[in-house]
């Protein structure tokens, strides 16, 4: 898509950042702009171009998302309660991108006593069946992160074929920032 076209909308993310939406012959161009220390607005790297031939499908997706958000209250009642707000926010991101997920579907034993009884296990926060991937969000205090890291090491030793991605606090904050989600 060449050029930005006509400005049709400005959305303020914060006092130094805004999203500008342009309508061009070739489609829609969504561009992040940031304010320089001198007060000038300059385009940032973050940019999304939606070609005109995809606009009808994009409208359908937005309509479906709007309809599903009205059902959010009912859907929330159907879900297991999340351990913390970051898990709930992550689930919303997955839902928005229509990624199938399961919340804490499996616990992996990682330690046993002399009688063979499980004394410790590890339960990843999410499982993404499409990717055969477990996700663990670790946005907690450092002393708890150390304990969780030990469990993750044991899981990887005992179950080397389990595909696990760990999001630490900084990773999770970057993810939220990338999607323009304000932290609570």
pLDDT digits (tens, 9 = 90+) for 169-184: 777 667 667 766 655 5
* Residues 56 and 102 reside in one and the same domain: no
Instruction: State the pLDDT at residue 77.
Output: 41
Domains of the chain: total: 2
Which of 44, 68, 92 is the last residue in one of the domains? 68
Give the max Cα distance, the chain: 72
CATH of the domain at 173: 3.40.960.10
**pTM more than 0.75:** no
For residues 59 and 11, membership in a common domain is answered with yes
Range of the domain at 124: 80-178
Same domain, 61 and 99: no
Nearest to 110 by CA among 97, 101, 121, 124: 121
Instruction: List, for residues 67-114, the tens digit of each pLDDT value.
Output: 655 444 444 445 557 888 888 888 888 888 888 999 999 999 999 999
* Statement to judge: residues 163 and 90 lie in one domain: yes
pLDDT tens readout for residues 18-77: 989 888 888 888 899 999 999 999 999 988 888 888 877 777 776 666 665 544 444 444
Same domain, 85 and 158: yes
Which of helix, strand or coil describes residue 69? helix
Outline where DSSP puts E strands in the chain: 6-14, 17-24, 27-35, 41-51, 102-103, 108-112, 118-122, 126-128, 133-138, 164-168
Boundary-marking domain end, from 39, 68, 97: 68
Which residues touch 106 (CB under 8 Å, ≥6 apart)?
123, 124, 127
As given in the structure block, the two tokens for residue 10 are 């400005």
- For the chain, the first-to-last Cα distance in angstroms comes to 36
CA angle 153, 151, 106 (to 5 degrees): 110
């Amino acid at each position: 898509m060449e050029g930005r076209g006509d400005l049709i909308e400005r959305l303020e993310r914060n006092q130094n950042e805004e999203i500008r939406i342009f309508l061009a012959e070739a489609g829609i161009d969504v561009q992040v702009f940031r304010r320089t220390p001198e007060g000038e607005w300059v385009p940032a790297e973050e940019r999304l171009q939606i070609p005109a031939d995809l606009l009808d499908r994009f409208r359908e997706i937005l309509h479906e998302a709007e309809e599903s958000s009205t059902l959010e209250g009912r859907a929330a009642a159907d879900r297991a309660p999340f351990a913390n707000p970051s898990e709930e926010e992550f689930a919303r991101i997955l839902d928005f991108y229509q990624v199938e997920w399961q919340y804490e579907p499996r616990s992996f034993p990682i330690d046993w006593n002399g009688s063979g009884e499980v004394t410790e296990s590890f339960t990843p926060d999410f499982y993404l069946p499409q990717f055969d991937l477990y996700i663990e969000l670790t946005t907690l205090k450092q002393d708890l992160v150390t304990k969780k890291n030990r469990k993750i090491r044991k899981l990887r030793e005992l179950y080397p074929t389990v595909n696990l991605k760990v999001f630490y606090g900084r990773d999770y904050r970057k993810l939220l920032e990338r999607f323009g989600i304000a932290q609570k």
